[in-house]
Amino acid sequence: MNRRNFFRRLAAIPVLPVLWRQLPIPAQASATLASPSARRVRPSDSSWPNAESWEKLKQDVGGNLVKVESPLVACESASDSASCQEVIKNLRNPYFIGDQAGGTQTSGWVDAWTSAPSVYAVAARNAADVVAAINFARENNLRLVVKGGGHSYQGTSNAADSLLIWTRAMNNITVHDTFVAQGCAGSQAPQPAVTVEAGAMWIDTYNAVTTKAGRYVQGGGCTTVGVAGLIQSGGFGSFSKKYGMAAAALLEAEVVTADGALRTANARTNPDLFWAIKGGGGGSLGVVTKLTLRTHELPAFFGGVFANITATSDAAFRRLIGQFISFYKDSLFNPDWGEIVAFRPDNTLAISMVFQGFDKQQAEKVWQPFFDWVRGSPVGLTIESAPTIVSLPARNFWNAEDLSKKAPGMVFTDDRPGAADTHMWWASNQGEVGFYLHGYESAWLPASLLEKDGQERLMNALFAASRHWKVSLHFNKGLAGAPTDAVAAARDTAMNPAVVDAFALAIIAGSGPRHIRVFLASRI
Ligand SMILES: Cc1cc2nc3c(=O)[nH]c(=O)nc-3n(C[C@H](O)[C@H](O)[C@H](O)COP(=O)(O)OP(=O)(O)OC[C@H]3O[C@@H](n4cnc5c(N)ncnc54)[C@H](O)[C@@H]3O)c2cc1C
């Protein structure tokens, strides 16, 4: 399947059960979509379902219909009250936010959206609850929104005046030694895999697959991102340069489409839907209830390299950028290296790279020429903090207990009473917890920029951009340099094909902490 064929076939299907952004599309979809006056029923409308109807839905979903409030409701009357202060403290914990039906990990985006709670949520326990919620929304012409991990940047997992399908409680995970997708016996060899329900976070998946079972599954870097949302977004983690895009590892999905049908999607059954789920955008095609992903052999080690190098002049910074690009091309442009370097307006190169497969000495050897060059540079470069190179058994990479002991500054754990002791998040993600976006731009950088005649252009562009704002290159979010099978698998997804020619994704973003005034303004 390729994008052109998919859209051709989509156009040929009169009634594809599509679930477009927050809108349940009924069977007479084509007419509704064409009509600019299409409008969902809001609580202020007389056709809003009455109490009896809601009660009936509640019974249909085993009692799991909840009234939704913003997590900050305690602050509405008094922002200095103890309960408000407690909530504000908790809003620095991504697991707390995820546990709130009305919580979102991004709290808004200037001039775009502000997090707003739904009216009701079906706290789904299983696919039947999802079917009931979709049917109810369709029959009553309600706004419908789906939330898993709640990490949407675009605000697509929250909507005022809506019914929410909240998958948080659907988090079972089953590891398989020999999985064959339904109807694929004979065409697909049995392979190790993991089946994950839609509300699971990556940390739960890593705990089951890596910490417990000693295997690797490609997921996200941020541990609290939802599995279903990330797979539908394409999905990259620290080691994607080796294992590819997360969506490309999808073997099978179970999906409830807007007509309320529970469908299996894999290479043989509903192959169009299967292809489109792989990176086609969360909430676009239906509500995914579970996913099965290929797993890989785990390497011996995972590790990281961290350093900050500051130049004392613009000229020295340009040289540093140029030298790093050349070093990256010669030594790091391969499946072993991922994550980030940032070029900052204060002429600092901030290195925060990860690797797979090397012990500490091997990683040091890779970087030695670069740090030797910096130390020997005749002009104006200072290594702000001595380079830190760490390597640990890969099986412990997401082991909260081990990391808290060995690298206490690198992780935080959910310290609420009764919280799972496996629930940790990287300190480097703390700034994103509940953040409010001021701007967020990204661009895939083609690998041709690493060729000799492209490097100077790239250096000039990075230097010029860094005069305005911090520019980060996320090497694991571009697949140039990845193994051919990872590239081929990514091509067979709905993701923008530019990903396979890019050596990195450049991100320029600005954000601040969620401001209580933003919340209060949205309530007035
Ligand atoms: C702090 C932060 C860190 C991030 N880190 C990474 C990273 O390391 N790697 C990466 O690739 N991306 C990352 N992202 C982006 C993230 O993968 C996407 O935003 C992803 O869509 C989030 O999924 P979610 O389930 O957590 O979010 P949600 O907001 O719950 O869902 C995202 C979208 O998917 C839809 N959706 C959710 N569940 C379902 C379902 N079961 N069926 C159908 N639709 C569904 C929602 O309606 C919404 O449109 C990050 C985002 C943030 C805010």
Q: Which helix (H) or strand (E) holds 418?
A: none
- The per-residue pLDDT for 494 is 97
For the range 33-41, what are the long-range contacts, defined as Cβ-Cβ under 8 Å and sequence gap of 24 or more?
40/141, 40/142, 40/143, 40/161, 40/162, 41/140, 41/141, 41/142
Average pLDDT over residues 357-378: 95
Using an 8 Å Cβ cutoff, are 179 and 191 in contact? yes
Q: Are 254 and 221 contacting, i.e. CB atoms less than 8 angstroms apart?
A: no
**pLDDT band (50, 70, 90) for residue 483:** very high
Q: State whether the beta carbon of 103 lies less than 6 angstroms from ligand 1.
A: no
> Within a 10 A sphere around the Cβ of 269, how many other Cβ atoms?
15
Residue 251 has pLDDT above 70, yes or no: yes
pLDDT at 501: 98
Is the C-beta atom of 201 inside 6 A of ligand 1?
A: no
Q: How far is the CA of 404 from the centre of ligand 1 (A)?
A: 26
330 contacts: CB under 8 Å, gap ≥ 6: none
Least confident among 14-18, 45-49, 115-119, 271-275:
14-18
Interval between CA 85 and ligand 1 midpoint (Å): 28
Confirm or reject: Cβ of 151 under 6 Å from ligand 1: yes
Q: How many CA atoms lie within 13 A of 469 on its CB side?
A: 13
Instruction: Judge if the beta carbon of residue 476 lies within 6 A of ligand 1.
Output: no
236 within ligand 1 shell (Cβ under 6 A): yes
* pTM confidence score: 0.92
CA 222 – ligand 1 centroid, Å: 10
d(CA 392, CA 359) in angstroms, rounded, equals 8
> What does the pLDDT read at residue 26?
36
Q: What is the pLDDT of residue 72?
A: 87
**pLDDT tens for residues 452-481?**
999 999 999 999 999 999 999 999 999 999
Instruction: Report the phi/psi class of residue 430: left, alpha or beta, with left for phi > 0 and alpha for psi in -120 to 50.
Output: alpha
| Residue 375 pLDDT > 80 | yes
Out of 233, 433, 477, 511, give the residue to mutate to test ligand 1, the one with the largest number of ligand atoms within 8 Å of its CB: 233
